[in-house]
Structure 1
Amino acid sequence: PSPPSPSSPHTLDNLPRLRAEAALIFGIRDTHVPDAGRDLIRAKLRESGCVFSWHEFAWAQHAFIRDELSKGRYDPAVTKACFEVLLELFGRVLRTELGEREGEVGGVEHVC
Protein backbone atom coordinates (compact mmCIF):
# COMPACT_ATOMS: atom_id res chain seq x y z
CA PRO A 1 0.00 0.00 0.00
CA SER A 2 1.08 3.55 -0.61
CA PRO A 3 2.03 5.72 2.36
CA PRO A 4 -0.68 7.97 3.75
CA SER A 5 -0.97 11.42 2.31
CA PRO A 6 0.60 14.13 4.49
CA SER A 7 -2.61 16.07 3.87
CA SER A 8 -4.80 13.36 5.45
CA PRO A 9 -6.82 14.85 8.30
CA HIS A 10 -6.79 11.56 10.21
CA THR A 11 -4.05 11.28 12.80
CA LEU A 12 -4.23 7.48 12.73
CA ASP A 13 -3.46 7.52 8.99
CA ASN A 14 -0.28 9.45 9.63
CA LEU A 15 1.18 7.33 12.44
CA PRO A 16 3.78 5.74 10.11
CA ARG A 17 5.28 9.24 9.78
CA LEU A 18 5.81 9.57 13.54
CA ARG A 19 9.55 9.62 14.18
CA ALA A 20 9.57 10.21 17.93
CA GLU A 21 8.66 8.26 21.01
CA ALA A 22 5.21 9.14 22.32
CA ALA A 23 3.47 8.91 25.67
CA LEU A 24 -0.30 8.47 25.43
CA ILE A 25 -2.41 9.23 28.47
CA PHE A 26 -6.11 8.45 28.80
CA GLY A 27 -8.83 8.44 31.41
CA ILE A 28 -10.83 5.23 31.39
CA ARG A 29 -13.97 7.21 32.24
CA ASP A 30 -13.45 9.56 29.26
CA THR A 31 -16.66 9.38 27.24
CA HIS A 32 -14.98 11.19 24.33
CA VAL A 33 -12.53 8.30 23.80
CA PRO A 34 -14.35 5.09 24.78
CA ASP A 35 -12.73 1.66 25.20
CA ALA A 36 -13.11 0.76 21.52
CA GLY A 37 -11.49 4.04 20.48
CA ARG A 38 -8.53 3.51 22.78
CA ASP A 39 -8.18 -0.07 21.54
CA LEU A 40 -8.14 1.17 17.94
CA ILE A 41 -5.51 3.82 18.70
CA ARG A 42 -3.27 1.28 20.47
CA ALA A 43 -3.65 -1.25 17.63
CA LYS A 44 -2.80 1.38 14.99
CA LEU A 45 0.28 2.47 16.97
CA ARG A 46 1.50 -1.13 17.11
CA GLU A 47 0.76 -1.75 13.42
CA SER A 48 2.70 1.39 12.53
CA GLY A 49 5.75 0.31 14.53
CA CYS A 50 5.62 3.42 16.71
CA VAL A 51 7.61 3.57 19.93
CA PHE A 52 5.17 4.54 22.67
CA SER A 53 4.13 4.12 26.26
CA TRP A 54 0.46 3.77 27.12
CA HIS A 55 -1.16 5.01 30.32
CA GLU A 56 -4.81 4.66 31.36
CA PHE A 57 -6.05 6.04 34.67
CA ALA A 58 -9.05 4.27 36.21
CA TRP A 59 -11.12 7.19 37.49
CA ALA A 60 -9.95 9.94 35.14
CA GLN A 61 -12.55 11.58 32.91
CA HIS A 62 -12.25 13.76 29.82
CA ALA A 63 -10.19 16.92 30.51
CA PHE A 64 -9.02 15.59 33.89
CA ILE A 65 -5.73 17.47 33.50
CA ARG A 66 -7.35 20.89 33.05
CA ASP A 67 -7.52 22.85 36.29
CA GLU A 68 -9.94 25.43 34.87
CA LEU A 69 -13.21 24.98 33.01
CA SER A 70 -13.02 21.20 33.56
CA LYS A 71 -16.58 20.92 34.91
CA GLY A 72 -15.38 19.22 38.08
CA ARG A 73 -13.28 16.58 36.31
CA TYR A 74 -9.86 17.98 37.27
CA ASP A 75 -7.83 15.38 39.16
CA PRO A 76 -4.63 16.86 40.65
CA ALA A 77 -3.20 13.50 41.78
CA VAL A 78 -3.54 11.91 38.34
CA THR A 79 -2.30 15.12 36.71
CA LYS A 80 0.86 14.95 38.83
CA ALA A 81 1.43 11.34 37.76
CA CYS A 82 0.98 12.37 34.11
CA PHE A 83 3.53 15.14 34.42
CA GLU A 84 6.00 12.64 35.91
CA VAL A 85 5.46 10.40 32.86
CA LEU A 86 6.19 13.33 30.55
CA LEU A 87 9.21 14.53 32.55
CA GLU A 88 10.70 11.03 32.39
CA LEU A 89 10.17 10.87 28.62
CA PHE A 90 11.51 14.36 27.97
CA GLY A 91 14.47 13.86 30.30
CA ARG A 92 15.45 10.60 28.65
CA VAL A 93 14.74 11.43 25.00
CA LEU A 94 15.53 15.14 24.81
CA ARG A 95 18.55 15.15 27.10
CA THR A 96 21.46 16.72 25.25
CA GLU A 97 24.45 16.07 27.51
CA LEU A 98 24.44 12.33 26.80
CA GLY A 99 25.84 12.75 23.29
CA GLU A 100 24.60 11.37 20.00
CA ARG A 101 22.42 8.30 19.96
CA GLU A 102 24.33 5.45 18.35
CA GLY A 103 22.44 2.91 16.29
CA GLU A 104 19.05 1.45 16.91
CA VAL A 105 17.83 0.02 20.16
CA GLY A 106 18.32 -3.74 20.03
CA GLY A 107 15.70 -6.39 20.60
CA VAL A 108 14.54 -7.22 24.08
CA GLU A 109 16.04 -10.38 25.52
CA HIS A 110 13.59 -12.58 27.43
CA VAL A 111 15.34 -13.54 30.66
CA CYS A 112 13.72 -15.20 33.68
Structure 2
Amino acid sequence: MLIEESYKDVPTTVAGKGTMRIFLIHPTIAGYPHAKFPGVVVFSEIYQVTGPVTRFARQIAGQGYIVALPSFYHEFTGPEPLSYDGPGTDAGNTWKITKKVAAYDEDAQLTVSFLLGLKTCNGRIGATGMCLGGHLTYRCALDPRVTAALCFFATDIHSSTLGEGKKDDSLKRAGDIKGELVMVFGKSDPHVPAEGRDLIRKTLHEAGVEFSFYEVFAAQHAFMSCSRLESTCSDRCSTVTFDPSRANICAASSAI
Protein backbone atom coordinates (compact mmCIF):
# COMPACT_ATOMS: atom_id res chain seq x y z
CA MET A 1 0.00 0.00 0.00
CA LEU A 2 1.32 3.43 -0.91
CA ILE A 3 1.78 6.09 1.77
CA GLU A 4 1.95 9.88 2.03
CA GLU A 5 3.88 11.86 4.65
CA SER A 6 3.15 15.26 6.18
CA TYR A 7 3.10 16.96 9.57
CA LYS A 8 0.94 19.16 11.76
CA ASP A 9 2.01 21.59 14.50
CA VAL A 10 -0.48 21.66 17.37
CA PRO A 11 -0.60 24.01 20.40
CA THR A 12 0.34 22.73 23.86
CA THR A 13 -0.40 24.30 27.25
CA VAL A 14 0.59 22.09 30.21
CA ALA A 15 4.24 23.18 30.30
CA GLY A 16 3.47 26.68 29.04
CA LYS A 17 2.25 27.79 25.65
CA GLY A 18 4.10 26.05 22.85
CA THR A 19 3.68 23.81 19.84
CA MET A 20 4.30 20.14 19.19
CA ARG A 21 4.94 18.68 15.77
CA ILE A 22 3.04 15.54 14.87
CA PHE A 23 4.42 13.65 11.91
CA LEU A 24 1.73 11.90 9.86
CA ILE A 25 2.12 8.86 7.62
CA HIS A 26 -1.09 8.08 5.76
CA PRO A 27 -1.94 5.07 3.56
CA THR A 28 -3.49 5.78 0.18
CA ILE A 29 -5.65 3.75 -2.19
CA ALA A 30 -5.82 4.91 -5.79
CA GLY A 31 -9.34 5.93 -6.73
CA TYR A 32 -10.57 5.97 -3.12
CA PRO A 33 -9.56 9.35 -1.66
CA HIS A 34 -12.13 9.08 1.13
CA ALA A 35 -11.19 5.59 2.32
CA LYS A 36 -11.13 5.32 6.10
CA PHE A 37 -8.46 3.65 8.20
CA PRO A 38 -7.74 3.06 11.89
CA GLY A 39 -5.13 5.27 13.51
CA VAL A 40 -1.97 4.38 15.42
CA VAL A 41 0.13 6.62 17.64
CA VAL A 42 3.81 5.65 17.46
CA PHE A 43 6.02 6.80 20.32
CA SER A 44 9.76 6.95 19.76
CA GLU A 45 12.74 6.31 21.99
CA ILE A 46 14.51 9.15 23.81
CA TYR A 47 15.90 10.38 20.47
CA GLN A 48 12.55 11.65 19.10
CA VAL A 49 11.40 10.70 15.58
CA THR A 50 14.55 9.26 14.04
CA GLY A 51 15.02 7.54 10.70
CA PRO A 52 14.63 4.03 12.17
CA VAL A 53 11.47 5.05 14.04
CA THR A 54 10.07 6.55 10.85
CA ARG A 55 10.79 3.35 8.95
CA PHE A 56 9.01 1.36 11.67
CA ALA A 57 6.02 3.70 11.34
CA ARG A 58 6.02 3.39 7.55
CA GLN A 59 5.76 -0.38 7.87
CA ILE A 60 2.66 0.07 10.03
CA ALA A 61 1.13 2.61 7.66
CA GLY A 62 1.73 0.28 4.75
CA GLN A 63 -0.58 -2.24 6.42
CA GLY A 64 -3.47 0.23 6.31
CA TYR A 65 -3.10 2.41 9.41
CA ILE A 66 -2.85 6.19 9.71
CA VAL A 67 0.26 6.71 11.83
CA ALA A 68 0.95 9.79 13.95
CA LEU A 69 4.31 10.36 15.62
CA PRO A 70 4.53 13.12 18.25
CA SER A 71 7.80 14.98 18.85
CA PHE A 72 7.54 14.97 22.61
CA TYR A 73 10.61 17.02 23.57
CA HIS A 74 9.11 20.22 22.16
CA GLU A 75 9.61 22.02 25.49
CA PHE A 76 13.38 21.72 25.08
CA THR A 77 14.20 21.53 21.38
CA GLY A 78 12.74 21.44 17.88
CA PRO A 79 11.16 18.42 16.18
CA GLU A 80 14.46 17.22 14.74
CA PRO A 81 15.77 13.87 16.01
CA LEU A 82 18.62 13.65 18.47
CA SER A 83 21.80 11.94 17.36
CA TYR A 84 22.54 8.39 18.41
CA ASP A 85 25.70 9.46 20.22
CA GLY A 86 26.84 10.53 23.66
CA PRO A 87 25.45 14.09 23.61
CA GLY A 88 22.17 12.94 22.06
CA THR A 89 21.78 10.18 24.63
CA ASP A 90 22.59 12.53 27.50
CA ALA A 91 20.07 15.10 26.29
CA GLY A 92 17.33 12.52 25.80
CA ASN A 93 17.87 10.96 29.22
CA THR A 94 17.93 14.38 30.90
CA TRP A 95 14.77 15.61 29.21
CA LYS A 96 13.02 12.30 29.91
CA ILE A 97 13.06 13.06 33.65
CA THR A 98 12.70 16.84 33.29
CA LYS A 99 9.42 16.86 31.35
CA LYS A 100 6.24 16.78 33.43
CA VAL A 101 4.24 13.54 33.29
CA ALA A 102 1.14 15.66 32.70
CA ALA A 103 2.86 17.13 29.65
CA TYR A 104 3.59 13.65 28.28
CA ASP A 105 -0.09 12.84 28.76
CA GLU A 106 -1.16 16.03 27.01
CA ASP A 107 1.04 15.14 24.04
CA ALA A 108 -0.58 11.72 23.79
CA GLN A 109 -4.11 13.11 24.12
CA LEU A 110 -3.45 15.75 21.48
CA THR A 111 -2.12 13.12 19.10
CA VAL A 112 -5.13 10.86 19.61
CA SER A 113 -7.45 13.83 19.08
CA PHE A 114 -5.56 14.78 15.94
CA LEU A 115 -6.07 11.31 14.48
CA LEU A 116 -9.75 11.21 15.43
CA GLY A 117 -10.22 14.60 13.81
CA LEU A 118 -9.13 13.32 10.41
CA LYS A 119 -11.98 12.61 8.00
CA THR A 120 -10.15 9.48 6.90
CA CYS A 121 -9.91 7.97 10.40
CA ASN A 122 -12.54 5.35 11.19
CA GLY A 123 -12.50 6.10 14.92
CA ARG A 124 -10.40 3.17 16.09
CA ILE A 125 -7.09 4.13 17.71
CA GLY A 126 -4.12 2.03 18.77
CA ALA A 127 -0.68 2.90 20.07
CA THR A 128 2.79 1.38 20.04
CA GLY A 129 6.32 2.36 20.94
CA MET A 130 9.71 1.20 22.14
CA CYS A 131 11.81 1.96 25.24
CA LEU A 132 10.62 5.35 26.57
CA GLY A 133 8.02 5.11 23.81
CA GLY A 134 6.84 1.83 25.31
CA HIS A 135 6.10 3.58 28.58
CA LEU A 136 4.38 6.44 26.76
CA THR A 137 2.33 3.85 24.87
CA TYR A 138 1.23 2.40 28.21
CA ARG A 139 0.20 5.85 29.41
CA CYS A 140 -1.56 6.52 26.11
CA ALA A 141 -3.61 3.39 26.82
CA LEU A 142 -4.97 5.15 29.92
CA ASP A 143 -7.02 7.22 27.46
CA PRO A 144 -10.33 5.35 27.00
CA ARG A 145 -10.33 6.28 23.31
CA VAL A 146 -7.40 3.91 22.75
CA THR A 147 -8.63 0.39 22.03
CA ALA A 148 -5.28 -1.43 21.77
CA ALA A 149 -1.69 -0.78 22.79
CA LEU A 150 1.55 -2.66 22.11
CA CYS A 151 4.52 -1.77 24.34
CA PHE A 152 8.01 -2.92 23.41
CA PHE A 153 10.54 -3.09 26.29
CA ALA A 154 8.88 -0.20 28.12
CA THR A 155 11.25 1.45 30.57
CA ASP A 156 10.62 2.98 34.01
CA ILE A 157 7.14 1.52 34.51
CA HIS A 158 8.32 -0.93 37.17
CA SER A 159 10.34 1.75 38.97
CA SER A 160 7.80 4.58 38.59
CA THR A 161 10.59 6.97 37.59
CA LEU A 162 9.26 8.72 34.48
CA GLY A 163 9.14 12.49 34.30
CA GLU A 164 9.89 15.40 36.59
CA GLY A 165 10.63 14.20 40.12
CA LYS A 166 11.01 10.63 38.82
CA LYS A 167 7.69 9.70 40.40
CA ASP A 168 5.00 8.64 37.93
CA ASP A 169 1.71 6.90 38.66
CA SER A 170 1.64 4.52 35.70
CA LEU A 171 1.32 1.28 37.68
CA LYS A 172 -1.13 2.82 40.14
CA ARG A 173 -3.41 3.71 37.23
CA ALA A 174 -3.31 0.28 35.56
CA GLY A 175 -7.03 -0.15 36.19
CA ASP A 176 -7.74 2.83 33.93
CA ILE A 177 -6.65 0.83 30.87
CA LYS A 178 -9.87 -0.19 29.11
CA GLY A 179 -8.48 -1.49 25.82
CA GLU A 180 -6.31 -4.52 25.13
CA LEU A 181 -2.66 -4.25 26.16
CA VAL A 182 0.32 -6.23 24.88
CA MET A 183 3.72 -5.97 26.57
CA VAL A 184 6.94 -7.41 25.13
CA PHE A 185 10.26 -7.61 26.96
CA GLY A 186 13.60 -9.27 26.40
CA LYS A 187 14.46 -11.66 29.23
CA SER A 188 18.04 -10.33 29.19
CA ASP A 189 17.00 -6.66 29.35
CA PRO A 190 19.10 -4.96 32.07
CA HIS A 191 16.77 -1.94 32.12
CA VAL A 192 13.73 -3.99 33.14
CA PRO A 193 14.94 -6.88 35.34
CA ALA A 194 12.95 -10.01 36.10
CA GLU A 195 11.54 -8.63 39.34
CA GLY A 196 10.42 -5.50 37.50
CA ARG A 197 8.65 -7.52 34.83
CA ASP A 198 7.01 -9.65 37.53
CA LEU A 199 5.73 -6.50 39.25
CA ILE A 200 4.21 -5.18 36.04
CA ARG A 201 2.55 -8.52 35.26
CA LYS A 202 1.19 -8.90 38.80
CA THR A 203 -0.17 -5.35 38.82
CA LEU A 204 -1.94 -5.81 35.50
CA HIS A 205 -3.50 -9.07 36.71
CA GLU A 206 -4.73 -7.51 39.94
CA ALA A 207 -6.15 -4.51 38.07
CA GLY A 208 -8.15 -6.74 35.74
CA VAL A 209 -6.49 -5.45 32.58
CA GLU A 210 -7.02 -7.43 29.38
CA PHE A 211 -3.41 -8.06 28.45
CA SER A 212 -0.84 -10.40 26.94
CA PHE A 213 2.71 -10.48 28.29
CA TYR A 214 5.67 -11.82 26.34
CA GLU A 215 9.24 -12.35 27.51
CA VAL A 216 11.59 -13.21 24.65
CA PHE A 217 14.36 -15.62 25.58
CA ALA A 218 17.92 -14.22 25.35
CA ALA A 219 16.68 -10.91 23.92
CA GLN A 220 18.23 -7.74 25.31
CA HIS A 221 16.86 -4.23 25.57
CA ALA A 222 16.04 -2.64 22.20
CA PHE A 223 16.18 -6.00 20.41
CA MET A 224 13.44 -4.75 18.06
CA SER A 225 15.28 -1.52 17.28
CA CYS A 226 17.64 -1.23 14.36
CA SER A 227 18.46 2.15 15.82
CA ARG A 228 21.62 2.17 17.89
CA LEU A 229 23.40 3.79 14.99
CA GLU A 230 26.87 5.04 14.31
CA SER A 231 26.93 8.82 13.83
CA THR A 232 29.10 8.36 10.76
CA CYS A 233 26.61 6.15 8.93
CA SER A 234 22.91 6.66 9.43
CA ASP A 235 21.86 3.15 8.46
CA ARG A 236 24.37 1.01 10.31
CA CYS A 237 22.72 -1.16 12.97
CA SER A 238 24.37 -2.05 16.24
CA THR A 239 25.31 -5.69 16.68
CA VAL A 240 25.07 -5.27 20.45
CA THR A 241 21.29 -5.39 21.02
CA PHE A 242 19.43 -5.57 17.70
CA ASP A 243 18.22 -9.11 17.00
CA PRO A 244 16.69 -9.30 13.50
CA SER A 245 15.24 -12.80 13.84
CA ARG A 246 13.49 -12.15 17.14
CA ALA A 247 12.37 -8.74 15.92
CA ASN A 248 10.74 -10.29 12.87
CA ILE A 249 8.94 -12.88 15.01
CA CYS A 250 7.51 -10.17 17.28
CA ALA A 251 6.53 -7.98 14.35
CA ALA A 252 4.80 -10.86 12.56
CA SER A 253 2.87 -12.01 15.63
CA SER A 254 1.79 -8.58 16.90
CA ALA A 255 -1.17 -6.58 15.63
CA ILE A 256 -2.71 -3.31 16.77
Structures share fold, TM-score greater than 0.5: yes
- The structural deviation recorded for 1:85 is 2.8
Determine the structure 2 residue equivalent to 1:64. Answer: 223
SS of structure 2 residue aligned to 1:16: helix
1:30 aligns with 2:198: no
1:28 & 1:77 partners in 2: Cα distance?
15
1:75 aligns with 2:234: no
- The structural deviation recorded for 1:68 is 1.9
Counterpart AA for 1:73: T
Q: 4+ runs of 1 displaced by more than 4 Å? A: none
Determine the structure 2 residue equivalent to 1:41. Answer: 200
Match for residue 21 of structure 1 among 180, 187, 198: 180
2:196 & 2:253 partners in 1: Cα distance?
22
- The structural deviation recorded for 1:10 is 2.3
- Please give the TM-score of this superposition, normalised by the length of structure 2: 0.30
Does 68-77 or 12-21 show the bigger shift?
68-77
2:170 & 2:253 partners in 1: Cα distance?
22
2:200 & 2:186 partners in 1: Cα distance?
14
2:204 & 2:253 partners in 1: Cα distance?
19
Q: Which consecutive residues of structure 2, in runs of 5 or more, have no partner in the other structure?
A: 1-101, 103-166, 230-237
Does 32-41 or 61-70 show the bigger shift?
61-70
2:198 & 2:225 partners in 1: Cα distance?
24
Q: Which consecutive residues of structure 1, in runs of 5 or more, have no partner in the other structure?
A: 1-6, 91-112
Does 42-51 or 75-84 show the bigger shift?
75-84
1:63 & 1:52 partners in 2: Cα distance?
21
Counterpart AA for 2:182: A
- The structural deviation recorded for 1:9 is 2.1
- The structural deviation recorded for 1:84 is 2.1
Deviation per CA, 1:51-103, whole angstroms, max 9, x where unpaired? 1111111110011111021742101111111112322xx2xxxxxxxxxxxxx
Once superposed, what is the RMSD of the aligned Cα atoms? Answer: 1.7
- Please give the TM-score of this superposition, normalised by the length of structure 1: 0.67
Counterpart AA for 2:252: E
Q: Of Structure 1 and Structure 2, which has the larger fraction of its residues in strand?
A: 2
Counterpart AA for 1:29: S
Determine the structure 2 residue equivalent to 1:109. Answer: none
1:40 & 1:73 partners in 2: Cα distance?
24
1:58 & 1:28 partners in 2: Cα distance?
5
Counterpart AA for 1:75: D
